Amino acid sequence: MAILSKEEAKKILEKVVGFSKADGIEANLNGNDGGNIRYARNSVSTSGEDSNVSLNVQSYVGKKVGSASINEFDDASLEKVVRRAEELSRLAPENSEFMEPLPQQTYGVESKTFIESTANITPDYRAQAAADSILPASKKDITAAGFLEDSRGFSSLMNSKGAFAYNKTTGVDFTVTMRSNDGTGSGWVARNFNDVSKLNTAEASAIAMEKALQSRNAKAIEPGKYTVILEPNAAADLLGLMLFAMNARQADEGRSFLSKKGGGTKLGEKIVDERVNIYTDPWNEEVPTGNWAGNGLPRKKMDLIKNGSVANMIYDRYWASLKNAEPTPFPGNRIMEGGTASIEDMIKDTKKGVLVTRFWYIRAVDPQTLLYTGLTRDGTFYIENGKIKHPIKNFRFNESPVIMLNNLETLGKQLRVASGGGPGGGGSSLIPAMKIRDFTFSSLSDAV
Amino acid sequence: MKRRDFIQLAGLSAGAMALPFSGFAQEVDIAHMLTPLLDTAKKKQLADVALNTAKGLGASYTDVRIGRYLNQFVTTREKKVLGVTNTESFGVGIRVIANGTWGFAASNNVTPDGIKRTTEKAVAIAKANSKFQKDPVKLATTPSYGEVSWKTPIVKNGFEVPVKEKVDLLLAANAKALEKGASFVNSIMFLVNEQKYFASSEGSYIDQDVHRTWPNFQVSMVDRQSGQFKTRAAFSAPVGMGYEYLDGRSEDKIQGPGGIILYNKSYDMIEDATMAAEQAKQMIAAKSVEPGKYDLMLEPSHLWLTIHESVGHPTELDRVLGYEANFAGTSFLTLDKWQSKKFKFGSDIVNFMADKTQVGSLGNVGYDDEGVKCKSWELIKDGVLVNYQAIRDQVNIIGQKESHGCCYSQSWSDVQFQRMANVSLQPGRQPLTPDQMVAGIEKGIYIVKDGSFSIDQQRYNFQFGGVLFFEIKNGKIEGMLKDVAYQANTNEFWNSCTQICDERDYRLNGAFNDGKGQPSQSNAVSHGSATARFNGVNVINTGRTI
């Protein structure tokens, strides 16, 4: 039941909209089948599956809105949920920011977000994928802890103004941490795909194992400002926080890193190195995403940062209507243009620096400057005269992605990374490795 | 409901207040929420379907959780109501041990047939995974309690309070803040009711009705001229209480150093919003801190988060053992330190209790989510590490026979696992008030309310910010500071604890949404303390220009 076809979803939604007696109605019908396996101490710890389909109905009378949901789909249930939403809308306080549903929209071609092989993952597949990671580790005096999560789902929307949208998607997300049994080395790797046939947990695990072995017996070096080579996952974490903060309303209200002293915003202004180009594109082959956003707006290719300048901010429909701006569909993916340099090339080109596998526990310190703190984790190495000299103890950093992207030295090759929230959760990103000068490490950590 | 759906549903954007959520929630009306779905006899019948099915398929242990999770959140900003949302999530989670391996499956189809199929799935998963299982699961024994029930001792069920009353309160708080010059105010009332029925193949049938309440706001001040903005969060705490928490009784108000008002067992939201606007103005005008070593005086609405991160998490046995290595991390409190019986975690005055029974706390329940009766126990005694937090399938590893009763799942759709109990710093044994503590400090900072936080994956190195920072010079509060964060090593920090105020200053704070596990789950947990002093802590300046 969890995955309805476009026609099946449309048929149910047409009935729902047909039952409406309020000023208007919008209905979302979504379903998801998910499965996961988790392992630690070289053994499976938990594993499970879940399944759900639900219909959410939003009815409105003037600016009073009521919502109700149901997971039964016979005619009587569909009518019941519509009546319940209508009743609630009459009782609701007025929401002065309520926007009527969108009229019929034109969506671009469907992206290739649904892959049959991923939709057909079984408990046996997951158990084998975990075994392919655990068995090599146990032969090398290493302990594996990992997690594989897969999902297949669909989402659809219809409203009384004539809009209808449908998308189905699959995703698989895999991470593993390999720790040397003497407790002094740790390595990590992450993989994120729509198509599970691209996933090889043995190949990914080998990388994490190598990092675990190489990072044993790390030495302490003084905190301070260093040139860093950030692997794509490390770069993506900080970058994502900046992109997530590009909300137009907050900028206009004066409480954003994009607000300007004296009033106004930095839209159109150069804020980072001019080699920085970041955009969203639902049809990108590496990171395809749905061709419409949750509120029904069509997604299209859109620049966020163009040649180092703020190209677009994210306007919700209410704020766009007040500011005479185009509303922005929330990006389903983020792509930063990269270069041709491999990590090895960047290391060769570095006199003194630090190679960072990933960051951990990143939290905002100051929203005004987008200052974040966090730590390096699972493979941090000292580079001297073009070579990795030795593993180093982890650092705490205090840095802003805005300052980081102003201190850009080299852009490397792109990698698909998860943007958080599991497979398909926060969307995926295509982010390059990058070399950054003067990255601020403020203290040492003993953590391995 | 996944977190991304919840955020959409709540109409929240980046930077909005973080909210917890539970699995597959659906919107419902309040009358429906106040009507019981199934009586205990019916739940028992349904649970028995799972227990019998699993037994027939060869499972050696089974537990069933039929859960109804209700949330209500009312959100406003300035003079507007942004949303009133009631959600219900109802379903069943079934956990089995087959061939010595765990299997779990969940479904929102709570019928005999749906439960039977879900049980079969759980057993099939256990059997598939058992091929690669090295060590069979060993469960610590727990008594069979028969048919029992427990309820949070609330005075006023928040779900029964009319929505209008909540909207009026939030808008009145917003109005006060705006009247005092605030640029923006967001406020929220968040209510949780977990109706949980647990049954196990060992003969326990446990019905629980758990309530939590969290009023919260953020008052922001923008100075367009200088381009600065600051946000003062509410001094409320999320609590394991009913709507009586909003009574704002005078006996629960505490006059703190620096002219601030703090709250204990009830909260005055309108008064706090008024103060928040005034303090947000002062936060902008405050002096930027000079980095260096300071004696820190940490107030309970701040210290709870430092306790949570640096004491609560590293004493979780599953972390120590490596079960969380791929996500939350491991722990520096390794088994050898505990075995030595003399590892000095903190100074002699540092005593921590783990507790699931404290009235008013978020962790308070009668039984945990694997049917173990809850209790309290010592973690750190006179500065020494004496125990961990452990559940049925792990406590044998530290040679103990009894689970600590701290197993929890955020919903029926997620598998239960070890979650943090309330972990609290015991008040000082000598009479001491916060004002007396200030009087003894030469160069220090008094920090109120939690702010920025970050700690490494083994819980050594941390950095914390705050909301209000008062400079202490020669025994007196001198005025506000800004751009303050402190960095320390957990072990050094707790050994630098030289004073703890007495029980008159003891208060609970906490969080609805402590994240752990893969897939990540939220846990609600409280941490109590009195104001405490830490000598010579490293303070950094976080001011930057972009």
Q: Does the beta carbon of B111 lie under 8 angstroms from any beta carbon of chain A?
A: no
Dmax (CA) of chain A: 74
pLDDT confidence of A426, banded at 50, 70, 90? low
Contacting residues of A for B229, CB less than 8 Å apart: 254-255, 259, 367-368
Q: How far is B502 from chain A (nearest CA, A)?
A: 32
The closest alpha carbon to A415, from A242, A207, A216, belongs to A207
Chain A residues whose CB is inside 8 A of the B14 CB are 244-245, 247
Burial profile B237-265: b = 16 or more Cβ within 10 angstroms, e = fewer: bbbbbbbbbbeeeeebbbebbbebebbbb
Is the pLDDT reported for residue A316 higher than 80? yes
Give the span between the Cα atoms of B360 and B240, in whole angstroms. Answer: 5
Nearest to B454 among A43, A87, A363 (CB): A363
What is the least distance, in Å, from the CA of A256 to any CA of chain B?
A: 8
- The answer, for A311 touching chain B at a CB cutoff of 8 Å, is no
Chain B residues whose CB is inside 8 A of the A71 CB are 26, 108
pLDDT at position B432 is 98
Q: Which two tokens stand for residue B123?
A: 């057993």
- Where chain B has pLDDT below 70, the residues are 1-26
Specify the pLDDT at position B2: 38
DSSP H helices, B226-294, are 269-285
Residue A318, CA distances (Å) to A324, A405, B243 in order: 10, 31, 33
Give the 3-state secondary structure of residue B525. Answer: strand
Give me the residue spans of the domains in chain B: 3-168+186-217, 288-541
Mutate to test the interface with B, among A1, A45, A142, A215 (most CBs of B within 10 A): A45
Give the global pTM.
0.95
> What residues in B contact A176, CB-CB < 8 Å?
326
pLDDT recorded at residue B5: 35
C-alpha span between A95 and B78 (Å, rounded): 12
Element (H, E) at B476: strand B476-482
* B contacts of A154 (beta carbons < 8 Å): none
Is residue A434 within 8 A of residue A412, CB to CB? The reply is yes
Q: How many other β-carbons are positioned within 10 Å of the β-carbon of residue A122?
A: 12
Of A41, A363, A402, the CB nearest to B452: A363
User: What residue in B sits closest to A134 (Cα-Cα)?
Assistant: B132
The mean pLDDT of chain A is 95
Please report the residues numbered 138 through 157 in chain B whose beta carbons come closer than 8 angstroms to any beta carbon of chain A: none
What's the pLDDT at B6? 33
The hierarchical CATH code for the domain B3-168+186-217 is 3.30.2290.10
Q: Which residue has the higher pLDDT, A280 or B135?
A: A280
Domains of chain A: 6-213 (3.30.2290.10), 218-448 (no CATH)
Output DSSP code: residue B409. Answer: -
Which residues in chain A have their CB less than 8 angstroms from residue B122's CB? 48
Residues of A in contact with B15 (CB under 8 A): 245, 247, 250, 367
Query: Helix or strand or coil: residue A416?
Result: strand
- Distance of residue A383 Cα from the nearest chain B Cα, in angstroms: 23
Residue B14 to residue B210: CA distance in whole angstroms: 30
Residues of A in contact with B455 (CB under 8 A): 361
3-state secondary structure chain A: CCCCCHHHHHHHHHHHHHCCCCCEEEEEEEEEEEEEEEEECCEEEEEEEEEEEEEEEEEEECCEEEEEEECCCCHHHHHHHHHHHHHHHHHCCECCCCCCCCECCCCCCCCCCCCHHHHCCCHHHHHHHHHHHHHHHHCCCEEEEEEEEEEEEEEEEEECCECEEEEEEEEEEEEEEEEECCCCCEEEEEEEECCHHHCCHHHHHHHHHHHHHHCCCCECCCCEEEEEEECHHHHHHHHHHHHHCCEHHHHHCCCCCCECCCCCECCCCECCCCCCCEEECCCCCCCCCCCECCCCCECCCEEEEECCEECCCECCHHHHHHHCCCCCCCCCEEEECCCCECHHHHHHCCCEEEEEEEEEEEEEEECCCCEEEEEEEEEEEEEECCEEEEEECCEEEEECHHHHHHCEEEEEEEEEEECCCCCCCCCEEEEEEEEEEEEEEEEECCCC
Q: For residues B206 and B149, is the Cβ–Cβ distance under 8 A?
A: yes
Rounded Cα distance, A443 and A223, in Å = 5
Distance from CA of B79 to the nearest CA of A (A): 10
Q: Which of A246, A377, A445 to mutate to test the interface with B (most CBs of B within 10 A)?
A: A445
A370 touches chain B (CB under 8 A): yes
Chain B residues whose CB is inside 8 A of the A421 CB are: 2-4
**Residues linked to residue B292 through DSSP beta bridges, in sequence order:** B539
The Cα–Cα gap between A289 and A281 comes to 8
Which residues, numbered 313 to 332 in chain A, qualify as contacts with chain B under a Cβ-Cβ cut-off of 8 Å? 316
Residues 6+ away with beta carbon under 8 Å from B259: none
Q: Please indicate if any CB of chain A lies within 8 Å of the CB of B288.
A: no
Which of the residues A1, A44, A70, A94 would you substitute to probe the B interface, choosing the one with the greatest number of B C-beta atoms within 10 Å?
Answer: A44
- Is the pLDDT at A16 greater than 80? The verdict is yes
Q: Using CB atoms, pick whichever of A316, A360, A421 lies closest to residue B4.
A: A421
CA distance A420 to A429: 10
Whole-angstrom Cα distance, residue A224 to residue A441?
A: 5
The pLDDT of residue B21:
36
* Alpha-carbon distance A145 to nearest alpha carbon in chain B (angstroms): 5
Calculate how close chain A gets to B460, using CA atoms only, in Å: 6
Instruction: Show which of residues 89-108 on chain B sit within 8 Å of chain A, judged by CB atoms.
Output: 101-108
CA distance A85 to chain B (A): 9
The confidence score (pLDDT) of residue A420 equals 60
Crossing angle of helices B112-130/B40-56, nearest 10°? 40
Identity of the residue numbered A291: N
Q: pLDDT-based confidence at A1, cuts 50/70/90?
A: low
Of B102, B453, B460, the CB nearest to A445: B460
Sort out which chain A residues have CB atoms less than 8 A from B2's CB and list them.
421-422, 425
Contact across the interface for B227 and A177, Cβ inside 8 Å:
no
In chain A, which residues have their Cβ closer than 8 Å to the Cβ of B81?
93-95
Hey, are the CB atoms on A396 and B220 less than 8 Å from each other? no
Q: Which helix (H) or strand (E) holds B417?
A: strand B417-418
Our CA-based measurement puts residue B291 at a distance from the nearest CA of chain A, in whole angstroms, of 12
- Let me know: does A215 contact A182? Beta carbons within 8 Å: no
Question: CA of A293: which chain B residue's CA is closest?
Answer: B8
The pLDDT of residue B482 is 98
Give me the residues of A, 171-200, that contact B with CB < 8 A. Answer: 175-177, 179, 188
| pLDDT of the residue at A59 | 96
Q: Which helix (H) or strand (E) holds B426?
A: none
